[in-house]
Chain A
């Protein structure tokens, strides 16, 4: 249901008369939709009627007393069918309104109310106080069926309005609701007629501060006068009329006059009339009677209420109470109403749309628990998820790094493979090739250390190579043949040239088992000292008496063999002085070095050994050996000694000193470790 279609219904029970006003909210203003009334066969509150009748009869001096209790119980004992038939008019009237689509406001029967004026402001009035003031019975203190509302009254007094008993209109509407609508009616307000009329007056702008206004509501059953002092409620009084009276207005007027005479009501400045007796002639009647007082019909001129022009002012005045009920239910902002409601707390609470029962709280608790559980679980899982995801990212990063490493490895392996392939190819190409530098060098050394020998030809065959040359010493041919593996001395023939005996030889060799690449890699300019070739070769061109040299050297060696060290030294020195350029001079130098080494003259000995080593004489390996010994035992320089022995083994592979050198080397290596 949209807000625009929201209806407000004011239902006013007045004895047999039922009036309903249907209002609707339109743009912050109320509008009257429908005003309808019906007369029931019997009033809802039969006992009150009987009570009134009784009063009337007593007033008229009737003889027979009426038993109220019996009537009442008679009414209560009516069957539902009787109820239905009795209140058919009400049922008929209710059916004309879409009550389920709006808010309902109804009045309480005036006879169910009791009015008490208390000299206290409403805020200070409590049930206990009312008990104390004997307005309430003690047992009513906590009785929720006893409903209390307050109406501010002049002189800071409060009129306490107490409702006792059931509200039959409300009960009847509930029954009707159950039978005719699946949707519960919404009850906004149950209020007393007096409060509603007071609210009407206070919002009507008819009241003046220094004047007294009398509101006469003359309904079907409810007839009451309400006196307003200024703008404040002063008091109300019922206007009892006789049902048998032919002129109700005259009766009312005479009662008012009586009350005025008795001083029950103050001097009135304005009379406002509403209810069933507010027709034009009624107004004129009262205006005529009270010629000095302004008499007017109640209207909604100053209310934010739009009324269909077809609805007459008389009709509005008749429906003033249901309209006020509906307006109060609307709770318009620009109208002020007395705070009062006789709707029981139970009904109000039950109608609250957001009212929650114990099961509702249970469900809320369950929602809370489930919510907390789910949120907690979610947060835990989320945290775990975050942590694991983070870990996974780290792992992925590591794995990515590993993958990259793998690629690097593959690249490296590829490069290695390519290089290995290339190296393999190169190695294959160079296999047993390019050994000539090594071979020629070895020949150079061999011929440098074996003078009086030379080559005339060197050439290679398929798997070997051969040399042809001359020497003056056949021993040299054997030495030469040991230079390279698998050598074969093909021929050695004697010859005589220039009065010298020489030997022509031819030797074939296999290629040495050396790795060309290793030779290239290890090549170093310092590996071998530059030989002084000319020194030995120079002797070739000198005309030296070879026999003399030989004899002189034999003397030296003879002394050495006999162990005559001093003599050996002397003879060797003489030989060097006599034949300084002779090859054997180097041998003499070696012998001197060896002897003086034993005598402890290490410095000179070392110098002599160096001289021999430099010339690459056949004594050079011996000199190297002795120098190594000198370094090992005299200078205590094992490293240097080992280096010298290394050199010896490397370049003098065929020397007889090699076994001794190896022995010394092993010894020193052990010492070094």
Chain B
């Protein structure tokens, strides 16, 4: 074999090597390109699908904007916790800030907890100018903290000489563990537009047939609506609720005993010089 043939043979090997490895390399690159193109195709499809997402995003953004607006408009917020201290503090603040410091009696009547809602029930009674009472009611209803007025009674015991009315409120204070801290719910000065007109003020004095002090509750015309270990909640026929403790006077007598176990209250009355023990029960029995 001469050098030419040998050299040709030698050259043939690099040719073969270049051809084989080149093709393998090209094959790999083609494969890689194919993979990348497939990926491109998939990504394109995803992107096409993503365009819907883009639309969804736009909608969501719009929704988000609406949400933000809604948040701005958010008027009512659940509190994280509630107890009588918080609510009393809250009511005093409302009274001091918006209702010329109206006076009221305050008592917690019960607590309700279930899967959906938690609330405490409170009784508020008092005597106030109608405008201030309206302001108090407005703030209870419309401040951010959620209080509902479950029961309202306003009455004027027929006095032309006073602008004040008697009132009783049964309110529920709602709270939820997902709610906001009490400290973070600020009071806001609400715009009010009600007429400052006392429509409970009599134009003329109406003669009262009652022989007893009209400011005292006539238990015989009232109803026991609730009680705690030392308080009884008596609702008069005019809807006013009276919060009575032991020995508190009532028409013709006094509250002598509160029996939370039997859910009874006992009054000692003296009508027409005849002494009488009058029982009121939450079970509806009266004697």
Residues of chain A having any CB pair with chain B under 8 Å? 184, 350-357, 359-360, 363-364, 366-367, 370-371, 374, 377-378, 381-382, 384-385, 388-389, 391-392, 395-396, 398-399, 402, 405-406, 408-409, 412-413, 415-416, 418-419, 422, 425-426, 428-430, 433-437, 440-441, 443-448, 452-460, 465, 468-470, 472, 495, 497-498, 500, 502, 516-517, 519-521, 523-528, 530-531, 533, 537, 540, 616
Contact = CB atoms under 8 A, between A and B. Distances in A.
B25 A374 contact: yes
A455 B37 CA distance: 85
A422 B47 contact: no
A352 B194 contact: no
A373 B240 CA distance: 104
B235 to A, nearest CB: 9
Interface string B229-242: 00000000011100
B15 A412 contact: no
A385 B33 contact: yes
A524 B193 CA distance: 8
B272 to A, nearest CB: 27
B199 A453 contact: yes
A349 B265 CA distance: 137
A456 to B, nearest CB: 5
Given A434-B142, A436-B137, A363 B15 contact: yes
B239 A434 contact: no
B50 A399 contact: yes
B193 A441 contact: yes
B194 A389 contact: no
Given A416-B67, A520-B142, A540-B203, A459 B238 contact: yes
Nearest to B3: A355
A458 B152 contact: yes
B70 A457 contact: no
A516 B70 CA distance: 16
28 contacts: A359-B8, A381-B26, A382-B29, A385-B32, A385-B33, A395-B40, A398-B50, A402-B53, A433-B149, A434-B142, A437-B134, A437-B142, A437-B194, A446-B199, A456-B238, A457-B153, A459-B152, A459-B240, A460-B153, A460-B239, A469-B199, A470-B202, A517-B76, A525-B193, A526-B193, A530-B195, A533-B197, A616-B195
B63 A425 contact: no
A647 to B, nearest CB: 12
A396 B137 contact: no
Nearest to B12: A363
Contacts of B117: 425, 429
Given A398-B50, A437-B137, A425 B44 contact: no
A363 B190 contact: no
B71 interface: yes
A472 B176 CA distance: 50
B155 A413 contact: no
Contact of B14 (A367, A430, A533): A367
A413 B60 contact: yes
Given A437-B137, A458-B153, A497-B204, A355 B67 contact: no
A384 B206 CA distance: 102
A436 B152 contact: yes
Q: Helix, strand, loop or mixed for chain A's interface? A: helix
A452 B204 CA distance: 9
Given A436-B152, A437-B141, A453-B199, A520 B75 contact: yes
B207 interface: yes
A454 B202 contact: yes
B22 A356 contact: no
B5 A357 contact: yes
Contacts of B187: none
A468 B12 CA distance: 120
Nearest to A410: B60
Contact of A460 (B37, B39, B47, B152): B152
Given A356-B4, A363-B15, A374 B22 contact: yes
A448 B199 contact: yes
B277 interface: no
A441 B26 contact: no
Contact of B78 (A363, A425, A469): A425
A500 B149 CA distance: 37
Interface in B70-89: 70-71, 73, 75-76, 78
Contacts of B64: 412
Contacts of B274: none
A359 to B, nearest CB: 5
B63 to A, nearest CB: 6
A399 B43 contact: yes
A241 B178 CA distance: 135
Contacts of A436: 137, 141, 149, 152
Contacts of A360: 4, 7-8, 11
Interface in B121-157: 134, 137-138, 140-142, 146-156
Contacts of A521: 73, 75
Interface in B19-74: 19, 22-23, 25-26, 29-30, 32-33, 36-37, 39-40, 43-44, 46-47, 50, 53-54, 56-57, 60-61, 63-64, 67, 70-71, 73
Nearest to A371: B18
